Structure 1
Amino acid sequence: MSSSSPIRPGPPAEAEFLGNETMYPDVKTTLNLFGIHRRKVPGDWTYPTHEHPQYEINYLLAGRQTMTVNGTAYEQKPGDLLLLRPGDVHSSRSGDGEPFEYFCLHFDLDDRLFLSLLGRLEQVLFPAGGAVARQVEPVLAKMLSADAEADSRSVAGRMKLQSAVFELFGQLWEAISAETLQLSPHAYGKVELAHKIASRLQHVASQHIRQGTPGDDHYGVGDIAAELGISVSYCNRVFREIYDKSPRAYWSELVLYESKQLLADPRFTVQSIAALLGYRDIAHFSRQFKRWTGMAPSDYRRGALVGTGSPGAQDSSR
């Protein structure tokens, strides 16, 4: 699910606005949900050792569950939450030979800041009495309500589920950030700084696209560093440490994203898209787009318009 739409041509730069205006940050996050299920199992039920490329949240509702993760056994009680990372080798069985019930979801998310936070966690089990489990419990309860289950297969129900999952991630971010801050305030400060840099880059990108500023010039890192009171080199170093890429590469991804969204809209010619993105001519835009994707804008457009976009990941059974 993509939570943004392509930027359309805005008002002329010289337009005057009356009253107050509040600019909210652009939101460009893709969320994929897999194998969401609530399951009651008998005491002799087991799930064999396996791994998958998605994150997994496993929440115990009743009984006892023993989840073995990378060779370590975790005893899970009602209200305990397990967070598994991609590639974690794990298996499951009853913790006391009696039936148990759990809720499970797998997810992919392209928010690098959120994933970098999850990647630094060493904790797998979050007990019911802890801050993380307490904070997410109300959202999980809403997702598991009878009304939510009854509505889960309708379009409205799926939208509500996606909304609840984003709310769950928001609660996870706040709770895990608080714990991370206690453990490593210096590292957490870098995460927040990288987030500020990314937010400013998003704002600069959207402004440049609306105003037709050249797509590969003046991408704003110097100005952003000055605003934040840091050097350009430190700005680049912190951003790369958290996002594993340079601010310029992140900027290119922002422009590429908007390019793809606009190319998927038949109302815009390739020439008008090149102009909207600020390139001096269509040849310059075509060269840059091919450098990013390996194909010409016209070829990408043909594929997008006939629905041959990239295939989604397959569901996981556990």
Structure 2
Amino acid sequence: MKLFSTPPLSQFQTPSPRKAQAMATAPQTTEPQLPNLTKPRVTAFNRLAKAGRWRVEAMRALSEPCLLWFTRGQGRVTLGGVTRGYGPNNLIFIPPGVMHSYELGSQPQGQVVFFGRDTEIELPHAAHHLRVRDAVAQGEIGSILEAVSREIDSDRPAADRALHHQLGLVSVWLERQIASNETAAIKPSAARRLVSRYSALVERDFRAHTGVAELAGELGVTVTHLTRACRESCGKGASEMLQERRLYEARELLRDTRIPVKDIAARLGYTSPAYFTRAFHAKTGKTPVDFRRNG
């Protein structure tokens, strides 16, 4: 079993006074306040794929922690700006606010656990990618996740309390696996550390009128150097990462809210609705209006 972790968000730079003022005056948006986002859920990967692969394959961050448990299939996962391969019996933990994306093969098998906003379960502050080779550990996490699913669907007395304790067992299992593999942790290269910091800034500022040049300046590097590091680390340029994050948010807002297209464009930092429409069409093959109507 190997472990990869990204630095916790608390280690990244905070906005300068000028940046903070710009963010305060810029149009703001938040994830749609959908009721099911506040409660724990367990979803099979094949169901996620049917709901739209863009929901998992586009760079984005969530407002709740989640855990991915792959039992079959393989692909690539980008976590905090670093891309690695995954295979069967891989577990990936993603804290809220960490940019990520992952591929789903033709027949993905496994589960994703969403812990819900403001969960009281004690979970890691950093992202982790575990390759679980021990058969006993594989059986343990499989059984716990099965119990979590049962309690979510249960109408028996004390189901909420039972669910809380089952999710606590997930936390304990994860903590033990991380602790037992501290010596196997992979030290990220300078490029990966830079891209991890950049991805955190993207998540912080993607709603503001902020470009790659400004973010590169905050990191103390040139745009060229940052772009080279991004391509080396995750196969995407710095501008592409920022654009993809904005367009993921746009699709969420188009699908899950009735906010007018022109307001979505303004909230995500586009200079005009026309420019937003061109960028959205280039990425998705649809206009924002068509995507809202037909998905």
The normalised TM-score by structure 2 is 0.48
Structure showing the higher helix proportion among its residues: 2
Larger Rg: 1
The normalised TM-score by structure 1 is 0.46
